[in-house]
Structure 1
Amino acid sequence: MSIEKVKEYFRKFDKEKDIMELSTSSATVELAARALNVEEGRIAKSLALKKGEEVIMLVTAGDVKIDNAKFKSEFGVKPKMLSVEETFEYTGHEVGGVCPFALKYNIPVYLDISLKRFQTVFPACGSHNSAIELTCDELDFYSKNNKWVDVCKNWGKKEIE
């Protein structure tokens, strides 16, 4: 089970106890925000994408969308979402619980600056009803972030610290 692998990953840092297993689904941004009683932007949305032939993970604030022009400027190609099956194959996590931790393959992770508006954010932890609250610095460290990128729209770059 994917959440067990994420717990094992966080055990190395003595943080597995911080993983929340919720009584309701957190499989979508809306459901996660409701379950955690936070605004949708604070949900760290993990997207498995194809960048040409390479698979990457992009983690964004929950209230934003990818800007294709910005993505192409940053990565040289337009983004393409992986299928449900491909997402599971490359990440080891099912859609609804995808996160940048304990990935099946060592795919590059990128964090979008839209997350930096918030003191803490809530990525999933490998299941449809899990999350962990992390600062952006913690998310940067635990996700093994390759680079902070600016590839999203509809958030206005407000309140970045």
Structure 2
Amino acid sequence: MALTEVKKYFRQFGMEDRVLELSESSATVELAANALGCEPARIAKTLSFSMEGKPVLLVTAGDAKVDNAGYKARFHQKAKMLTPQEALELIGHPVGGVCPFAVKPGVSVYLDESLRRFKTVFPACGSGNSAIELTIPELERYSGALEWVDVCKGWRGEA
């Protein structure tokens, strides 16, 4: 189970007890915000893509949407999301619980600039009813992100 793997991952940093197992679903931004009592924008949603046949995760703010033109300009190809089955097979987490922690080898992680405006955010932890509150420096460290990118729209007030 992915949640077990994420807890094991955080155990090595003495942070396993910070993983929240919720009594209600957190599988969407809206559900997670309601379950956690925070604004939807602070939910760090993790989107899974295929890039040149390899799995890529993009962690964005809950109110951000991938800007196809910005994505193509940055990654030099069209954004192609993984199917739920592909996400489970290639990333190791089910849709609704996809996160950048305890992922399968070969998964590249990027953090979107839309997250930097918050002191803390809430990414999932491998299941549709889990989360962890992390500061932005903690998210950088524990996600193993390759770099910050600016490929989303809708969070700066633009359409």
Tell me the TM-score normalized by structure 1. 0.95
Which residue identity is paired with 1:64?
A: A
In the TM superposition, what is the alpha-carbon distance from 1:78 to its structure 2 partner? Answer: 1.1
Alignment of 1:10-159 (within 5 A): 10-156=10-156
Partners of 2:62 and 2:92 lie apart in 1 by 21
Q: Measure, in 2, the Cα distance between the counterparts of 1:60 and 1:122.
A: 11
State the 1:54 CA deviation.
2.4
Count of aligned residue pairs for this structure pair: 157
Q: What is the CA–CA distance in structure 1 between the aligned matches of 2:106 and 2:30, rounded to whole Å?
A: 29
- What is the deviation of 1:155? 1.1
- The letter for the 1-side match of 2:81 is M
Whole-Å separation in 1 of the counterparts to 2:12 and 2:115 = 25
Alpha-carbon distance between aligned partners in 2 of 1:145 and 1:94, rounded to the nearest angstrom: 20
3-state SS, counterpart of residue 33 of structure 1: helix
Query: What is the DSSP-based 3-state SS (H/G/I as helix, E as strand, rest coil) of the residue aligned with 2:116?
Result: helix
The DSSP-based 3-state class of the residue aligned with 1:38 is coil
Question: For residues 31 and 63 of structure 1, what CA distance do their matches in structure 2 show?
Answer: 13
Any conservation in 1 of the 2:55–2:106 contact (CA below 8 Å)?
no
Q: Deviations over 1:6-62 (max 9, x none)?
A: 000000000000000011000000000000011111000001101232221000001
Moved over 3 A (4+): none
Report Cα offsets for 1:79-117 as digits up to 9, x if no partner. Answer: 111001000001111111110000023311000000011
> What 5-or-longer segments of structure 1 have no aligned partner?
none
Corresponding residue number in structure 1 for 2:6: 6
Cα RMSD of the aligned pairs, angstroms, is: 1.0
